[in-house]
């Protein structure tokens, strides 16, 4: 018997996999790389949320600074859903949601704290990291709705395709999740500030850009998914068993 509980759990999980060949396959959240993937997921989320406060204009195209990294949040979210299942991905999404709230509250406390004598960057700090309720609310709601839909759709498709047609569940979940995220964020954050055709341009550009970027990065997502699966000794379980083993 193994002296390491996580190794024993993973080994037991791998043995159970052979009796569940007809079900969609996932990995347990203990004894593998789940926590590393979650950490990367949350880090990308916080950084992209900070970047999103700036609107960027490239010719006629208007988007926000979050466009650089936020598609990677969905890629890592896809890895979580594909490898560990909806319930494990939902835990990561809620953790990211909580950390985003913590970051927003921290920046707000720093903003309202009295600046030290001689420190002349208060206005600059408020302009970049200042607490803007609409932006914070938009970011949190867009992330939560978009990521949960993305994960749910991916796992829903996987339950019907098993290990085949990874491209279908990656693209299908992205189309739904990014649409929800973009519409919610843009509407809550900028509707009224940006109106009419300019607002539609902003929404459509952001959605198309983020979705196409994920399609372009599909080979990278394939490699990352394969890399993580190969290093999860428990991969091969139905979701209900994986969750119980990982508890």
Tokens of 137: 């609310």
User: For a pLDDT cut of 70, what percent of the chain falls above it?
Assistant: 87
Most confident of 32-41, 72-81, 237-246: 32-41
Q: Residue 62: in which H helix or E strand, if any?
A: strand 61-64
**Average confidence score pLDDT of the chain:** 83
Is 80 or 247 the better-scoring residue by pLDDT?
A: 80
Q: What is the reported pTM?
A: 0.79
pLDDT tens profile 178-200: 899 899 988 898 888 888 888 88
- How far are the Cα atoms of 10, 49, 239 from residue 162, in angstroms, in the given order? 21, 34, 12
What pLDDT is stored for residue 243 in this prediction? 57
What pLDDT is stored for residue 241 in this prediction? 63
Whether the per-residue pLDDT at 166 is higher than 70: the answer is yes
Which residues contact residue 167 at a Cβ distance below 8 angstroms, ignoring those fewer than 6 apart?
218
User: For a pLDDT cut of 90, what percent of the chain falls above it?
Assistant: 39
Q: Kindly report the backbone phi and psi dihedral angles of residue 69, in degrees, each rounded to the nearest multiple of 5, phi listed first.
A: -110, -25
Confidence of residue 60 (pLDDT cuts 50, 70, 90): confident
The answer to whether residues 97 and 76 touch, using CB atoms and an 8 Å cutoff, is no
What pLDDT is stored for residue 246 in this prediction? 47
What average pLDDT does this structure show over 154-161? 94
What pLDDT is stored for residue 19 in this prediction? 45
Tokens of 14: 């791998």
Is 80 or 50 the better-scoring residue by pLDDT?
A: 80
What pLDDT is stored for residue 13 in this prediction? 47
pLDDT tens profile 4-39: 554 444 454 445 444 445 678 999 998 789 999 999
What average pLDDT does this structure show over 236-245? 64
pLDDT tens profile 191-234: 888 888 888 888 898 889 888 888 898 998 999 999 999 999 88
């Amino acid at each position: 018997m193994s002296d390491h509980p996580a190794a024993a759990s993973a080994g037991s999980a791998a043995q159970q996999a052979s009796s569940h060949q007809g079900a969609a396959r996932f990995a347990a959240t203990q004894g593998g790389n789940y926590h590393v993937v979650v950490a990367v997921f949350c880090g990308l989320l916080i950084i992209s949320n900070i970047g999103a406060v700036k609107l960027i204009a490239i010719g006629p195209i208007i988007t926000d600074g979050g466009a650089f990294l936020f598609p990677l949040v969905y890629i890592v979210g896809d890895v979580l859903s594909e490898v560990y299942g909806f319930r494990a991905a939902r835990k990561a999404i809620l953790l990211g949601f909580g950390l985003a709230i913590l970051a927003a509250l921290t920046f707000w406390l720093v903003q309202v704290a009295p600046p030290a004598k001689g420190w002349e960057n208060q206005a600059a700090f408020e302009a970049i990291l200042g607490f803007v309720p609409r932006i914070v609310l938009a970011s949190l709601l867009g992330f939560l709705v978009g990521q949960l839909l993305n994960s749910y759709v991916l796992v829903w498709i996987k339950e019907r395709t098993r290990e085949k047609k990874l491209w279908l569940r990656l693209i299908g979940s992205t189309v739904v999740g990014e649409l929800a995220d973009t519409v919610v964020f843009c509407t809550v954050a900028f509707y009224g500030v940006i109106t009419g055709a300019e607002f539609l341009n902003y929404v459509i550009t952001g959605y198309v850009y983020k979705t196409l970027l994920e399609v372009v990065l599909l080979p990278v997502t394939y490699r990352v998914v394969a890399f993580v699966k190969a290093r999860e000794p428990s991969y091969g379980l139905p979701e209900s068993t994986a969750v119980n083993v990982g508890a």
